[in-house]
A and B are shown apart, each in its own frame.
Chain A
Amino acid sequence: MGNWKPSHVGTLPLAMILLLGLTFWGARADAQETENPFTGPVDVRIGERLFEAQCSNCHGLAGTGNPEAGGPDLTTGRFRTASTDAGLFRVVREGIPGTSMIGIKRNSSDQAVWQVVTYLESLNPADSLDNLPGSATAGRQLFEGKGNCGRCHIVNGSGGRLGPDLSQVGERRPQTDLRSDLTDPNAEVDPRWWTLTVTQEDGSVVQGLRMHEDSFSLRLMDEQEGLRSFSKSQIRSFERDKNSTMPAYRSLTATEQDDLITYLLNLRREQ
């Protein structure tokens, strides 16, 4: 719609030109306020191609961000500066004033911008809640009962602190990743969940989850959930263990895995 341009303008009377001009600008403004008209699978593919050529230099080829270039991860399902398609359209088109984020190529059509928006929306890792493999109710019973998962994980305000808060995990982890998390937890461990082992000057050892580390200090949560802070110059040594503290739940039956994953996929913000 917004890509429409009048042709043969030279043959039209002035009033008609003005009218068409107003219509054009009106259409362009409307395009940014209405719903995305280009949301098909082909649009995703075209949007991906545009993203790779014009956006990936700062946001990474897969949109997962580039810490050197400063472009944030766009695959979390949440965008810092836009909460609607129209908002995303504006950011892709114009960039974000006062930041390094510049807009798409200036001669890009509105259709191209919408297609990039469609691609960005497709990066949302959340799986559909249709056709889930198991029973959320059974999964919850397993989570709270035999699995004892709440010992380490908080869900909706209750649970332990020794693992990630899972209250909205269904929005950020797709089914395949959740299955891998259960059966092979060391495959992908966020540095926040590495384990630090600190040997103090007196030889005593403190171990805990790596809450933060910088060039001169460490902070960890020890086994009693105490928050401990160390200056690197005032300890004898420290070691990082990049494995997860979570056991691999390979002993779960296939049905139990499906139920648990279905429960976790349902953990989302209330709509």
Chain B
Amino acid sequence: MTFTRVTTLLAVVASAHLTLAQELTGDGGMPPFSPVTWERLLNAADEPQNWLMYSGTFDGQRFSRLDQIDTGNVDGLKLVWAHHIPQLDRNETTPLVVDGVMFITESPSNVTAVDAATGRPYWRYEHELPDDLRVCCGRNNRGVAILDETLYMSTLDAHVVGIDARSGSLLWNTEVANYQEGYSKTAAPLIVKDKVITGIAGGEFGIRGFLDAYDAKTGTRDWRTYTIPGPDHPDNRSWAGDSWRTGGSPTWITGSYDPELNLIYWGTGNPGPDYKGDIRGGDNLYADSVLALDGDTGEMSWYFQFTPHDVHDWDAIQIPVLADIEVDGKPRKAMLWANRNAFYYTLDRETGEFLVGKSFARQTWAEGLDDNGRPIRRPGKLPTVEGTLVAPTAGGATNWWSPAFSPRTGLLYVNAFDGEANFYIRDEEYTAGDRYTGGGTDAPLPIDNYMSAIRAIEPATGDIRWEFPMEARSRAGVLATAGDVVFSGTVDGYFYALDARTGEELWHIALGGRMNASPMTYAVGGRQYVTMPSGNVVYTFALDN
């Protein structure tokens, strides 16, 4: 074959590829998939047609500037396509959308790329997993991160992988921790500059938590910050004896990032064993906290612990929501946090200073928060051998599913639960890689006796502006848009839209399957879409053309 013939053939192939790409996007005039640079990630809010990271933008607001779908027309939403996931496990994914291509993670540790306008597939990457995995809470994955043309995904065997976004080919595969010691990974990583920031799960298996940064090109580890300090650090004394070695404090949901302050914010989970706290006397730092870490080195700038010496499994595994608001007449770079322990907090994200705190859901364990935001515990609420009735439940007043903040309304939207449980303790020996909880919980009444709700919280006061009640217990996150619409889902299979200012119901559709994920929105060819997983199907809606 001559050089001329080769170049002609390449030109034909390239031309066919371009035509195919345009056709597959469902919009011949749309630019094809282009690399997602660090600059694009920094300015993700300016390209609302794309959803470039787990929470949409680095501030964790899960707010979109798209406004084609608004309070006046949302009741005209129609199903456009559905993507069926082969596995039946809980579907907790938030897809990414880049220039008309959607990336959906699937149980257990797979990812597929589809045309975002039609739902039709390009490729699927299936991660090979060992047979002897032991994970606490299902074989789930919540999403990928992207930088340039590479996707980054956590896997259940505690690896992080780099995958070519155009072809689905594996580029690198790095072991983060030994899964046989109880470590696993489920959360979407976060890109900060040229690094992949990613956490770890395993708080029910006696792990020692950490947050890692990996080189995005090579997958080699750049830094690790343990969420339980070692014996060379004074805060290690917040753990009795050697309990810090098996103290949990995992990092199993995605954090946020402030580029101006160059701080990464990340929540930490429960100390272990979950319920039997007498063997880990002390505050158990930095479990159930938010950590502010240097974006280049991972060095800790400050921490705030929501639940010192937790014995109710109230992980601070929520999305740190960053917003610039006014508190007591003073502008603040704030962090908004509705916690699993039933208290809402506003913190100063530069310093970690506690600004506002108030319960946003039913709780019986604390009189309130003191001036520093530390809970004032009520006596008689610790787990016992016989069981102690406490609100909220171990699953908490909220959990990992995303809240949303609308800069247009100034409200934080949270999926809340007013439940209660009997907490009990049991003796349990630690064995590496096995469950290590030291007790559990029982439901005193059928779940029909309790209620979930979307609550709209004013960050400057912690007051609840409105609520929208649902059957218990909803496990869906919330999306807010510039159309002043709030989207969420129910445990009984509804996807719905509320007026962001009033909480009035505007639209709902029965999809049938329980919702365990957070909705997201994007646009292709000038048409806005809204996506929500239900059961093991990913549904996408839009207005009629």
Closest Cβ of chain B to A193, distance in Å, is 11
Known: A52-B426, A213-B471, A215-B494. A64 touches B442 (CB 8 A): yes
Nearest to A54 among chain B residues (CB) is B435
B446–A190 CB distance below 8 A: yes
A105–B492 CB distance below 8 A: no
Known: A57-B435, A61-B442, A66-B442. A99 touches B426 (CB 8 A): no
Task: List residues of chain B with CB within 8 A of the CB of A66.
Answer: 440-443
| A-B contacts, CB under 8 A, total | 108
Closest Cβ of chain B to A80, distance in Å, is 14
A53–B442 CB distance below 8 A: no
Closest Cβ of chain A to B443, distance in Å, is 6
DSSP class of B's interface residues: helix, strand, loop or mixed?
loop
Interface status of A68 (Cβ within 8 A of chain B): yes
Q: B134-142, B164-172, B293-301, B349-357: which one contacts chain A?
A: B134-142
Interface status of B470 (Cβ within 8 A of chain A): yes
Nearest to B474 among chain A residues (CB) is A215
Task: List residues of chain B with CB within 8 A of the CB of A100.
Answer: 135-139
A214–B490 CB distance below 8 A: yes
DSSP class of A's interface residues: helix, strand, loop or mixed?
loop
Interface status of B324 (Cβ within 8 A of chain A): no
Closest Cβ of chain B to A70, distance in Å, is 7
Task: List residues of chain A with CB within 8 A of the CB of B435.
Answer: 54, 57, 102, 105
Task: List residues of chain A with CB within 8 A of the CB of B446.
Answer: 190-191
The size bracket of the interface on B is 35 or more
B440–A61 CB distance below 8 A: yes
A61–B87 CB distance below 8 A: no
Interface status of A34 (Cβ within 8 A of chain B): no
B443–A107 CB distance below 8 A: no
Nearest to A65 among chain B residues (CB) is B443
B471–A105 CB distance below 8 A: no
Task: List residues of chain B with CB within 8 A of the CB of A97.
Answer: 131
Interface residue total, chain A, C-beta cutoff 8 A? 35
Distance A216 CA – B512 CA, assembled complex (angstroms):
13
A214–B422 CB distance below 8 A: no
**Residues A81-134 near B (CB distance < 8 A):** 95, 97-100, 102-103, 105-107
Task: List residues of chain B with CB within 8 A of the CB of A105.
Answer: 431, 434-435
Closest Cβ of chain B to A246, distance in Å, is 18
Task: List residues of chain A with CB within 8 A of the CB of B492.
Answer: 214-215
Interface status of B271 (Cβ within 8 A of chain A): no
Interface status of B32 (Cβ within 8 A of chain A): no
A56–B431 CB distance below 8 A: no
Known: A102-B134, A214-B492. A61 touches B431 (CB 8 A): no
Task: List residues of chain B with CB within 8 A of the CB of A58.
Answer: 440
A106–B138 CB distance below 8 A: no
Closest Cβ of chain B to A238, distance in Å, is 13
Known: A61-B422, A102-B135, A106-B434. A216 touches B441 (CB 8 A): no
B494–A213 CB distance below 8 A: no
A57–B442 CB distance below 8 A: no
**Residues A201-260 near B (CB distance < 8 A):** 213-216, 233, 242
A214–B494 CB distance below 8 A: yes
Nearest to B393 among chain A residues (CB) is A68
B440–A60 CB distance below 8 A: yes
Interface status of B486 (Cβ within 8 A of chain A): no
Task: List residues of chain B with CB within 8 A of the CB of A215.
Answer: 469-471, 474, 490-492, 494, 496
Closest Cβ of chain B to A179, distance in Å, is 22
Nearest to A59 among chain B residues (CB) is B440
**Residues B410-452 near A (CB distance < 8 A):** 419, 421-422, 424, 426-428, 431, 433-435, 437, 439-443, 446-449
Nearest to B396 among chain A residues (CB) is A68
B137–A60 CB distance below 8 A: no
Interface status of B505 (Cβ within 8 A of chain A): yes
Interface status of B473 (Cβ within 8 A of chain A): yes
Nearest to B445 among chain A residues (CB) is A191
**Residues B119-137 near A (CB distance < 8 A):** 131, 134-137
Closest Cβ of chain A to B457, distance in Å, is 20
B437–A216 CB distance below 8 A: no
Distance A54 CA – B434 CA, assembled complex (angstroms):
9
Task: List residues of chain B with CB within 8 A of the CB of A52.
Answer: 426
Closest Cβ of chain A to B420, distance in Å, is 11
Q: Residue-by-residue, is A14-38 near B (CB-CB < 8 Å gives 1, otherwise 0)? A: 0000000000000000000000000
Task: List residues of chain A with CB within 8 A of the CB of B131.
Answer: 97
Closest Cβ of chain B to A236, distance in Å, is 16
Interface status of B387 (Cβ within 8 A of chain A): yes
Interface status of B92 (Cβ within 8 A of chain A): no
Known: A105-B434, A214-B490. A57 touches B440 (CB 8 A): yes
Task: List residues of chain A with CB within 8 A of the CB of B448.
Answer: 191, 194, 213
Distance A99 CA – B447 CA, assembled complex (angstroms):
22
Can you name 22 A-B residue pairings with CB atoms under 8 Å? A53-B428, A54-B435, A57-B204, A57-B274, A58-B440, A60-B440, A60-B443, A61-B387, A64-B442, A64-B443, A66-B440, A66-B443, A68-B393, A68-B395, A68-B473, A69-B441, A98-B139, A100-B139, A213-B448, A214-B471, A215-B470, A215-B491
Q: Told that A60-B441, A98-B87 touch, could you supply 19 new A-B pairs with CB distance under 8 A? A: A57-B435, A57-B437, A60-B443, A66-B440, A66-B443, A67-B447, A67-B473, A68-B395, A68-B419, A68-B443, A70-B137, A99-B89, A100-B139, A105-B434, A107-B431, A215-B471, A215-B496, A216-B494, A216-B496
Cβ-closest 8 pairs across A and B: A214-B492, A57-B440, A191-B448, A68-B395, A215-B470, A215-B490, A100-B138, A105-B434
